[in-house]
Amino acid sequence: MSGLEDLYREIILDHYRSPRNRGELAVPPATRTEGFNPLCGDEIVVFLELDDAAKGDDAVITDVRIGGQGCSISQSSASMMSAAIKGHSVGAARELATSFKAMMSIHEGELEGTAADDAETSDTAGELPLGDLDALRGVVKFPVRIKCATLGWNTLLQGVDEATGT
């Protein structure tokens, strides 16, 4: 099961079994954003609370909660995401999302199912380190699971847009 162990690293299974920031926030003041994975029908809900929405990208994410249901990959990815962005600025969260999605994006030739270990991503996104999230790198070997890994992040990007009214 060597292939599988690339996908299911221990840290991923840990976040899946003990998700961080699981739950809901009161809306308002928080915003609530739903994201679907059309391939499987799973759904992630991201609750965001900012210190001051008017500050736009400089607003700080004071609290975050994750709801919905999904597989180990989507749930652990969202759990790690919540831990990584909490207490940081909207701008930093955006950069991290972009950086994470770049890590997940596979090159066209690799659509045939070959590995993509050489994905050109740096280990940090602006001020925030990828950290645990790096464990999700193995997902690119399983193209159908990439949407699982990015589901929370796409929902986050929608969420910060809604929260800051952009």
Partner 1 sequence: MSTADAPDAATFDVASIAADFPILGERIHGHRLVFLDSAASSQRPRSVLDAMDRYYETTHSNVHRAAYTLAERATNAMEAGRTTVARFIGAADASEIVFTKNATEALNLVARSWGAAHLGEGDAIVLSVLEHHANIVPWLQLQQTHGFEIRWIGVGDDGLLDLSDLDQLLRGSKLLSVTAMSNVIGTMPPLAELVERAHAAGALVCIDACQSVPHLPTDVRALDADFVAFSGHKMCGPTGIGVLWARRELLETMPPFLGGGGMILDVRLDGFVPAEVPHKFEAGTPPIAEIVGLAAAIDYLDAIGMDRVRAHEVELNEYALRTLPARFGDDLRIYGSHDAELRGGVMSFAFCDIHPHDLSQVLDEHGVCVRPGHHCAKPLMRVLGVGATARASWYLYNDAADIDALGDALDAARSFFSI
Residues numbered 77-106 forming contacts with partner 1, rule: CB under 8 A: none
Name which of 27 and 39 has its Cβ closer to partner 1: 39
Among 7, 21, 35, 42, binds ligand FES (CB under 6 A): 42
Sheet of 61-69, strands arranged across: 31-36, 43-50, 61-69
How far apart CA 87 and CA 4 sit, in angstroms, is 34
Element (H, E) at 2: helix 2-7
Closest distance of CB 99 from ligand FES, Å: 20
Contact between 120 and partner 1 (CB under 8 A)? no
Closest distance of CB 104 from partner 1, Å: 16
Show the site string, 140-159: x = touches ligand FES by CB under 6 A, - = not: --------x--x--------
Region class of 68: left (phi > 0), else alpha (psi between -120 and 50), else beta = left
